[in-house]
Amino acid sequence: MSSLEQAIKKFKFHMEMERNLTPNTRKNYLVDITQFQEFLAENYPSSVRPEPDSLTQIDHMMIRAFLGSLHRKKRKKVTISRKVTALKTFFNYLLREGIVKINPAETVQAPKAEKHIPAFLSIDEMLALLKMKINPDETGLRDMAIIELFYSSGIRLSELAGLNIGDIDFSQGLIKVRGKGMKERVVPVGDPALVAVRAYLECRKDAFKYEYGGSRYPVFVSRKGTRLSTRTVARILDRLVLMSGLNRKISPHVLRHTFATHMMEAGADLRAIQELLGHESLSTTQKYTSVSVGRLLEIYDKAHPKAKKMKSEEGRKEEATEPV
């Protein structure tokens, strides 16, 4: 076993036992570092030979060559950035443990993220989703409660799937969620979502003999009474979108974007939205500003007399320059 392979095993144990990382982050980091190990084995076989000092042979040029191979394979910039973060975290751990003397990934720059406006639903589209006719049985009430809660709170898919009954304060209209890094935050929830969740819990209480109020039982469960996985929740949303007649792909993250965008357009403070979404950095929340500005420009173009006049003049100029 090479020293790199041993280091990866130690790092895996470190992430599981000492770092407060989500299971998904731990899994992705291990995939990224293992891919780097495979790249070294293929392109620099001497750097991973089974000698104690093989780790010291890894330098920043090898890491850059690895990233270059990913560019040639047309990997997304966000994926490459994550791999840079994984390698920096890995070598920082080795540095603290005294296994290496420098972090070869420290000077490696991640590619700049591509700027994009998040997809979101219009108010009419969201209402179409919320006003669907459902069967008033346990499954139907559960599915509607999921949609209502997503839109009312803006929580992540993993946060919704991880909710326990005791996390909901019906009297105060609040829910406690565990976000990235298992950081807890409390967010408000509107009455329609609370009514939908309560109706669902009342319907399933007799079936599963659960008493809610301080309970650690999951909020959203399958027919067998087991906690819904994130994948199952996403499939439920796919089915509901198909039933609603909305001819587009809508993920749980689109509902999170919809919540933030509608809050922004209604005049909510950017920092308040940051707190509600559980963003570490305000810059992450600021991407919704461009959505709101785009909406404002659309309203301006439709409503302002001068804007209308300018557009009509531009149209006449275009007609005048067209060949006869």
Contact indicator for 45, 54 with CB cutoff of 8 Å: no
Catalytic residue among 14, 156, 204, 262: 156
200 vs 280 pLDDT, higher one: 200
User: Can 180 be counted among the known catalytic residues?
Assistant: yes
Catalytic residue among 12, 64, 198, 253: 253
For residue 228, the 8-state DSSP code is P
- Supply the pLDDT for residue 62: 92
258 vs 297 pLDDT, higher one: 258
- Supply the pLDDT for residue 192: 93
210 vs 276 pLDDT, higher one: 276
**Looking at the structure, do residues 256 and 164 belong to the same domain, yes or no?**
yes
263 vs 47 pLDDT, higher one: 263
For residue 304, the one-letter residue type is H
- Supply the pLDDT for residue 183: 79
Contact indicator for 167, 176 with CB cutoff of 8 Å: yes
User: Can 288 be counted among the known catalytic residues?
Assistant: yes
**Looking at the structure, do residues 160 and 286 belong to the same domain, yes or no?**
yes
Residue 244 belongs to a domain with what CATH number? 1.10.443.10
The tokens of 287 are what? 């991407």
Report whether pLDDT(236) > 90. Answer: yes
Q: Give the SS3 label for residue 109.
A: coil
User: Can 256 be counted among the known catalytic residues?
Assistant: yes
E-strand stretches of the chain = 168-169, 174-178, 184-188
- Supply the pLDDT for residue 53: 47
**Could you write out the DSSP letters of every residue in 243-306?**
HHT--S---HHHHHHHHHHHHHHTT--HHHHHHHHT-SSHHHHTHHHHHHHHHHHHHHHHH-HH
Catalytic residue among 180, 185, 198, 295: 180
Range of the domain at 10: 3-96
pTM for the complete prediction? 0.60
Catalytic residue among 14, 204, 256, 262: 256
Kindly state whether residue 67 falls inside one of the protein's structural domains.
yes
Taking only the tens place, the pLDDT of each residue in 80-109 is 999 999 999 999 999 999 888 899 999 998
User: Can 279 be counted among the known catalytic residues?
Assistant: yes
User: Can 216 be counted among the known catalytic residues?
Assistant: no
Catalytic residue among 93, 151, 200, 288: 288
Q: Averaged over 282-289, what is the pLDDT? A: 66
- Considering its fold, how many domains does the chain have in total? 2
